[in-house]
Copies of this chain bind each other. A is one copy, B any other.
């Protein structure tokens, strides 16, 4: 299985603090060691690094730790799998309507086992095809093919968000499917098992990471109009009020704030232990 980290902010922000804890799960406090990747949507474009090495060993991850890139949207992925192929490293990216979209998945799907007549196998090669051999990239390509078929031009935000929710729920029929996705304007989180988020804004407090012995006073590094939301598979800090997504909830953030939320009528929240157990058994 893998783990996801994302940040959406009002002003370009540095994910360094969260990354310090998250990176540790790529070989130090956890065993997501089969790849690492980060996508930064900086104000002037997308910066994307992928490696097939563990985050704790990767020179790219070390560069991320040492540099202070500020981005409006950042997605990080640490991978646990049966292979260490570079072509299978997340995040994946494709261009649609002249925008770079980025996608990372956590979970194990069964798309490859689906019959050729199954809806998910239809239109596979219309526009987007996977380059690697993961179900994750297949799912991303499926979703983009659906979008491109349905909308010749980018639809309004509400239409887009609802369409993406439907697509995520459809994909969740094919196995364990938690994801983060961004086009640089907004960040989508979809939970099939575990995904949490926390928003930081004035008055800023401080927080201590769970995975490494680092504490940050956000007051000292932010301006009063800064707002940022961090999403992660499981909480990264021990002393903040992380909100959990329900099973099959879809949520979207823009400029640090929640702008869309679709929670099932009877929401179910898994404990972290239940969620991790499902992931381990998948």
A89 touching B129, Cβ below 8 Å:
no
Does any Cβ of B come within 8 Å of A42's Cβ? yes
B127 touching A127, Cβ below 8 Å:
yes
Distance between Cα atoms of A46 and B46 in the complex (Å): 17
Distance between Cα atoms of A95 and B137 in the complex (Å): 12
How many residues on A have C-beta within 8 angstroms of the other chain's C-beta atoms?
34
Does any Cβ of B come within 8 Å of A128's Cβ? yes
Chain B residue with Cβ nearest A62: B63
Does any Cβ of B come within 8 Å of A274's Cβ? no
Chain A 32-73 per-residue mask, 1 if CB under 8 angstroms from chain B, else 0: 000000000010111111111000000110010011000000
Chain A 72-97 per-residue mask, 1 if CB under 8 angstroms from chain B, else 0: 00000000000011111100001101
Query: B49, B89, B95: which contacts A45 (Cβ < 8 A)?
Result: B89
Chain B contacts of A49 at CB under 8 A? 49
Query: B63, B87, B99, B131: which contacts A63 (Cβ < 8 A)?
Result: B63
Does any Cβ of B come within 8 Å of A132's Cβ? yes
Distance between Cα atoms of A130 and B99 in the complex (Å): 8
Chain B contacts of A160 at CB under 8 A? none
B127 touching A44, Cβ below 8 Å:
no
Does any Cβ of B come within 8 Å of A203's Cβ? no
Chain B contacts of A130 at CB under 8 A? 98
Q: How close is A123's CB to chain B, nearest CB, in angstroms? A: 13
Among A45, A67, A88, A130, chain B packs the most CB atoms within 10 A around the CB of A45
Given contacts A59-B63, A128-B95, A129-B98, is CB(A86)–CB(B52) below 8 Å? no
User: A114-157: which residues lie under 8 A (CB-CB) from chain B?
Assistant: 125, 127-132
- 3 closest Cβ pairs, A-B complex: A45-B86, A45-B87, A98-B129
Pull 8 A–B residue pairs with CB atoms less than 8 Å apart, ordered by A. A44-B86, A45-B88, A46-B131, A59-B63, A87-B100, A98-B125, A98-B129, A100-B131
Give the B-binding residues of A (Cβ under 8 A).
42, 44-52, 59-60, 63, 66-67, 84-89, 94-95, 97-100, 125, 127-132
